[in-house]
Every structure is written in C-alpha cells, then in structure tokens.
Amino acid sequence: MTSRHRRVRLLFGAAALAASLTTSLAACSSTSSSSATTVAGTSTDGIGTGTATVTVPADPAAALAEGVAALDVGYHFTATVTVNGATQVVADGDRNGSNSRLAITSAGATVDYVITADGSWAKPADGEWQLLEVAPATSDPIDALRAPVAVEVSPSTGGTLHVKVTVTAVSLGIQAEGNVSVLVNLQGGVITLISYDATVQGGTANVSTAISAITDTTAITAPAV
C-alpha cells in the first residue's frame, strides 16, 4: 500500500464518526405542532440580542418528528468533534438527496469526501480521488431521533427552542449500554443544531452539528477517477 493510500485510510478512520453524523442531518421547514405556551426571554445563545419569544409546542415529540421527517430537504452542515474541549475533527459540507459532499479536517490535514449509494471517495489536498476500500460508518443519528426514549423541552430563550431528546447509546453507534441525551435546537420550526456528549477513550467527546440552508444545489455524483 502506498503512503498516500495509508494517509487517506488513516484520515478517513479519524473522521469516520464525523462523516456518519454529518451525512444524515436534516433541516426542517415545516410548521411545528400547535403550541400551548409562549415564553419571552433574553437571548443567551449567541444567535441574537434583545428579547424574543419562544413558542413551546404542546407535543414536543411531534414537533421533533416533523423536523426529522424532512430528510429529503437539502442542507449545509458544519460538524465539530471535540475531546476534552479540544477540537479533533471538523466536517463541513452539503447533503443533497441521499448523497453528500464534505471536507473533513483532522490533525492539520483536510480530505474531501463524496459519499453516494454507489460508493465513497476521498481526495487529500495534494492528491487525486480514490475509491475507499472501507465504507463510511453507517450509524445514523436521525434514526435515533426517530425512535426516542423521551422528549422534553429544556429552558428556551432568545427565540430558540431547546429540546432534550433521550436516545439509546447503541442507536447513535456508541458501543455502550444506557442512554444519551441529545440537544436539538429549533428556530421557527427549523432544526439548527444537534449536539451530544459521549465518553470516549481518553475523556469526553462532544459532537455538535450546525445546520443551515444549502447554497450549492448541484447534484452530488461520483467523482471522475
């Protein structure tokens, strides 16, 4: 195996978690369930300033389900994986239909990825596209949100609705028993952030993915190799 092939495989392995998380998150533009309460509060989430109202849904599980159901909508994502507060992996890209394109930066190096139903390809900054021998991790956090153990509204201010979703660790691809709390932020019924912590070898990891509207809507297809 050439040094370039080894580097691609090593970088892919380091970023596999980020790839599995960021290839399946979706933004929702549908209207959330009917609300029971409107709460006024001062922004503390860094998104805005001043006072904004937060509409608390009567059924937060239904509101979450509406957001999760919008999987066919294209979106842009930026996922950051930190361990003990230090950034380890950053993934930035687009999801369009069932395919994804993203750039993953880890250990000072960036690799571009294209992931489709037909295969996955990687290209280091100074190299060419290569078909990966090992498929990306298949754990889908959206699937975990489809079947939550519990859903509840957390204190919400600044126009952002915070929903705490309890899911099984296994549903997130974490090889451990018990449950994990996932924080989902919604603004105006649109999912804008998904974040959770997990215990890893050497400390605690946080996976936080910001979601926004996709700007490059061109079809994502296999690269020429």
What confidence score (pLDDT) does residue 183 get? 93
For 46-59, what is each residue's pLDDT tens digit?
333 445 567 788 88
The reply to whether 187 falls in a domain is yes
The reply to whether 221 falls in a domain is no
What confidence score (pLDDT) does residue 45 get? 37
pTM listed for this prediction:
0.74
The reply to whether 147 falls in a domain is yes
- pLDDT of residue 221 exceeding 90, the answer is yes
The reply to whether 224 falls in a domain is no
Please give the average per-residue pLDDT across 121-133, as a whole number.
Answer: 91
What confidence score (pLDDT) does residue 28 get? 29
The sign one gets for the Cα dihedral 34, 39, 40, 41 is: negative
Residues of the chain with pLDDT > 90: what percent?
28
Domain carrying residue 90: 3-213
Q: Greater confidence, 141 or 205?
A: 205
The reply to whether 218 falls in a domain is no
What confidence score (pLDDT) does residue 121 get? 93
The reply to whether 219 falls in a domain is no
Q: Greater confidence, 130 or 188?
A: 130
Q: In sequence order, what are the beta bridge partners of 212?
A: 76
- pLDDT of residue 135 exceeding 80, the answer is no
Quote the number of domains for the chain: 1
Residues contacting 147, CB < 8 A, separation 6+: 167, 171
Quickly state the pLDDT bin for 95 (edges 50, 70, 90): confident
Quickly state the pLDDT bin for 9 (edges 50, 70, 90): very low
Q: Greater confidence, 71 or 43?
A: 71
The reply to whether 220 falls in a domain is no
For 136-188, what is each residue's pLDDT tens digit?
654 556 777 888 999 999 887 778 889 999 999 888 877 778 999 999 988 87
Residue 201 structure tokens: 């070898």
What confidence score (pLDDT) does residue 18 get? 46
What confidence score (pLDDT) does residue 76 get? 85
What confidence score (pLDDT) does residue 48 get? 38
The reply to whether 64 falls in a domain is yes
Residue 59 belongs to domain with CATH number: 2.50.20
3-state SS of the chain is: CCHHHHHHHHHHHHHHHHHHHHCCCCCCCCCCCCEEEEEEEECCCCCCCCEEEEEEECCHHHHHHHHHCCCCCCEEEEEEEEECCEEEEEEEEEEECCEEEEEEEECCEEEEEEEECCEEEEEECCCCCEECCCCCCCCCHHHHHHCCCEEEECCCCCCCEEEEEEEECHHHCCCCCCEEEEEEEEECCEEEEEEEEEEECCEEEEEEEEEEECCCCCCCCCCCC
